[in-house]
Structures are given as C-alpha cells and as structure tokens.
Homo-oligomer: A and B are copies of this chain.
Amino acid sequence: MMPFASDNWSGVTPEVAAALGRANAGHAPAYGDDALTATVVERFSEVFERRVRVHFVTSGTAANVLCLQAVGRPGGLVLCTEQAHLHADEYNGPEYFTGMKTVPIPTADARLTPASLTEGLSRLLPASQRGPVAALSLTNATEHGTVYSAAEVTELAAIARAHGAAVHVDGARFANAVAATGDSPADLTWRAGVDLMSFGGTKNGCWAAEAIVVFEPDAYPDLSVLRQRAGHGLSKQRFIAAQYDGYFTDDAWLRTASHANAMAARLQEGLTASPGARLEWRTRSNELFPTVSAATAARLRAGGATFHTWEERGDEVVIRLVTSFATTAQEVEELLALIG
C-alpha cells in the first residue's frame, strides 16, 4: 500500500499517543483550567519567543472561522487566494460565522505576491460603497505545497495593514512551512506583522488538535466566548493540550514535518526525472500535484497507491500526492517505480 491521499489519513505519532496516555491519569479541571493546559501554553510561548494566548479547538475550519470572527467587521472583506482553504473548502463557514465576504485573488501557485495583493485591493469598490477590508489571510504552507518566507509574509502583511486589515495565518501545515523555510515561528508570524493564526497539529501527527494563537495577549478578548458559543470549547480540553505536549516534545513537530517534506522532495526529484509525470510548479512542503496520463493514474491505483484526483484534463489528470510523518522511503520509491 502506498498511502498518498492526505496527511489526515495517518494516525498519531508515538509522542502524541504517549502524551495522551499520560493525560488520562486521574481527574483534572475541565474547560482548560487544568495544569497541563497551562504548561502547554507555556510551550507555545517558548516556540514563539513571546507570551502568546492560545485557544484550543479540534478542527482547522474551527480555528479559521473563529480567527476571522475575532477580527471581523460588519460587511467586511477577507482577502485571500482563490485556493485558500477558507475560501474554497470550508462550506462557507467563514461567511456564515462572520457575515463577511472572502475576496479570492488569482495566483499561479497558491501564493500571493505584493503585486497580486495590490492589484486585488485596487479592484475593490471605493471604500464608501463597501465594508472595510477586515483581514488578509495567508496559508503557510499553502494549499499547493508552496511556502512563504518570513520576508514574504512581512511584505504582504505590511500592505494589508496599510489598508487597515488584520493579518491571519492559516497554519494547518505550519510545521511544514517552518521546516521548509528554516525561518523561526516568530519570524514567520508576529515579527512579520501577523496578528493571529490557526496553528495546526492534526495533519502532522495529532489526531484532532488545532490552536488559535493570539500574539498580543490582550487582543480579541471575545475569542473565549466565541469559541464556547460555537461549541468548540471542549470540557476535557486537557486531551487537546496533551497532543501538543507530545507534539512539542524534543521538537517532534519539526522532525515529523521535516520528514514529510523530505519524502515529498524525494518524490519531486523522482517525478522531475520521470517521463511519466509533469510538475507545473515546484513545491517545498509535503504536497505535490503532478500531471500524469489517465492510464498512469489508473496503473498507480491498481498498484495500491491512494491519492486524490485534483483535476481532469482530457487524457491527463492532475493528481495530488501528500506525504506525512508516516510516509516511508520505501513507499516513495515504490510509487516512483510504478510511475516509471
């Protein structure tokens, strides 16, 4: 079996499993008043080199919509890419929770550039005929496997802030971005002008752990009530904290992300060399989108590979290959061998 369908098809890492086991002992206060939660929030502050506030939830959509609610303005606009998960894949949750509109900007590789962001802003109606530009949301690593460097985030955030927008990072695969860029979590976020983020654990070896990280600890005081009202405040919250406890143990999160990135890099190397596949853009995290013939795709499936078809284009298909902490070098080589 060659499992490349999604990083959320895998289970949990040994570190996370162990931490969940430890957290099960005895009784502990509910709703985040437990000692483990406090300890883990400290770990977040260490990771980000400043005191941060954390709200735990169990899905990335939850983290995203609550972040947007926190920075929302009536009738406001949320700038993002046309590939942004919160625009394309959250069943209108952002619109529902905020009453705002996502404004998708076309991109080549799911990354905004200063030029495309400025162009997107220039196409808005005059300010008197619309709501405010409430937020810019950047996904890092992006939905297409690319990443933003700290310098790039800084430049984009500055443009957004000049228009009065808050800056949000959708970090469902933030570990992969940190591992790929080598930039620190702090440099990729608050030092670059980011106000708050969705910090994902699920795709990188937790089972349901997402964290809203607020970089100015007193900002967005309504987030706690927003989370409870939405049913995203868990009574036995210590079990989310426990996952991050395991996640951060001995930098496990960066090791697993580096591994996933490396597996994808090896895949990318092999695909680039293969006559049977074509890559329309280079990626740096754990996702690849090769174009292959329909026959090749069928052969891969018959050979035991799992993956999603991204787009059908006549005789060809764009497929998505995703690696994770659990991907093995053998699985990668088997897939490459099958592609030929």
Measured CB to CB, the residues of A under 8 A from B are 1, 3, 5-6, 8-12, 17, 20-21, 23-30, 57-66, 69, 73-77, 88-93, 95-96, 99-102, 125, 129-132, 202-203, 207-208, 222, 225-226, 228-236, 239, 306, 326
Contacts and interface: CB of A to CB of B under 8 A. Distances in A.
B228 A91 contact: yes
A27 B326 contact: yes
Given A202-B235, A208-B239, A231-B232, A91 B27 contact: no
Contacts of A75: 91-93, 96, 222, 225-226, 228-229
13 contacts: A1-B27, A9-B27, A20-B20, A58-B58, A74-B222, A74-B226, A75-B93, A76-B92, A90-B231, A93-B228, A93-B231, A95-B96, A232-B232
A102 to B, nearest CB: 8
Determine the main DSSP class of A at the interface with B.
loop
Contact of A28 (B9, B76, B100, B232): B9
B95 A222 contact: no
A224 to B, nearest CB: 9
Q: Which of A62, A66, A74, A102 neighbours the largest number of chain B CB atoms within 10 Å of its CB?
A: A74
Given A93-B228, A228-B91, A231-B57, A222 B62 contact: no
Contacts of A23: 11
Contact of A17 (B24, B27, B203, B236): B24
B95 A101 contact: yes
Contacts of A96: 75, 95, 99, 229-230
A230 B93 contact: yes
